[in-house]
């Protein structure tokens, strides 16, 4: 499979959507503060989508320790997101992309019965998309690969800080 068209490019950010609390959220406001894990899923309340959302919930502390925040995106309404977040006890933001604006900007493909592909993006503090994971049926694929990518990025960042400290100590 060819790499995703947006891999290693600047993330589309000038889009504002409503979250599950009916508040405006602009992706641009979250770039630069931390790494952003943005996962697109087909539909609130379906079996695999619920499993995926709960997997991100259950590993959220690990994700945050690695310097990232999580946002979920689907075409569902604000009300649907509110109910889904409450039922599944999701502590992170869910964005209502009812018109498909964000999905189109992120080039999320459509698959079965017109549902969007289950796609997860890891966006660095610099706004560059560093990783893209696509798997329609496997929710575990997303959380597993996000954690691996964040751990790898964290190790690289730690090593470069240590190298800089070593250089300063030698001076």
pLDDT tens-digit series, residues 12-33: 888 999 999 999 999 999 988 8
Structural domain contains residue 68: yes
Is residue 8 in a domain?
A: no
- Domain range for 163 is 16-170
Global pTM reads 0.84
What gap in Å lies between CA 7 and CA 99, rounded to an integer? 24
**If you average pLDDT over residues 49-65, what whole number do you get?**
94
- Give the domain CATH number at 116: 3.40.30.10
User: What distance in Å separates the CA atoms of residue 119 and residue 107, rounded to the nearest whole number?
Assistant: 10
pLDDT-derived band of residue 162, with 50, 70 and 90 as boundaries? very low
Q: Is 49 a catalytic residue?
A: yes
Residue 165 has pLDDT above 60, yes or no: no
pLDDT in tens, 128-159: 999 888 876 677 778 888 999 998 876 544 34
Residue 6 lies in a domain: no
Tokens standing for residue 42: 């087909």
Choose between 36 and 161: higher pLDDT.
36
Q: Which of 30, 16, 26 is nearest to 124 (CA)?
A: 30
Active-site annotation holder among 6, 17, 25, 49: 49
Q: Rounded to 5 degrees, what are φ and ψ at 12?
A: -65, 130
In a domain, 129, yes or no: yes
Residue 2 located in a structural domain: no
Identify whether 7 is part of a domain. no
Judge whether 145 lies within some domain.
yes
Query: Is 3 among the domain residues?
Result: no
Count of domains for the chain: 1
pLDDT for 140: 79
Look-up of token digits 């997101």: 81
């Amino acid at each position: 499979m060819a790499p995703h068209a947006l891999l290693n490019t600047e993330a589309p950010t000038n889009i504002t959507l409503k979250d599950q609390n009916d508040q405006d959220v602009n992706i641009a406001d979250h770039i630069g503060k931390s790494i952003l894990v943005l996962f697109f899923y087909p539909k609130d309340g379906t079996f695999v989508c619920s499993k995926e959302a709960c997997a991100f919930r259950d590993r959220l502390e690990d994700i945050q320790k690695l310097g990232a925040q999580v946002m979920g995106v689907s075409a569902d309404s604000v009300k649907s997101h509110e109910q889904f977040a409450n039922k599944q006890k999701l502590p992170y933001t869910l964005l209502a992309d009812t018109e498909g604006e964000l999905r189109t900007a992120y080039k999320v493909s459509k698959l079965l019965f017109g549902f969007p592909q289950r796609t997860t993006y890891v966006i660095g503090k610099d706004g560059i998309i560093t990783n893209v994971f696509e798997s329609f049926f496997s929710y575990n694929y997303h959380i597993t690969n996000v954690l691996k990518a964040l751990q790898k990025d964290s190790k690289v960042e730690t090593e470069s800080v240590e190298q800089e400290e070593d250089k300063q100590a030698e001076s």
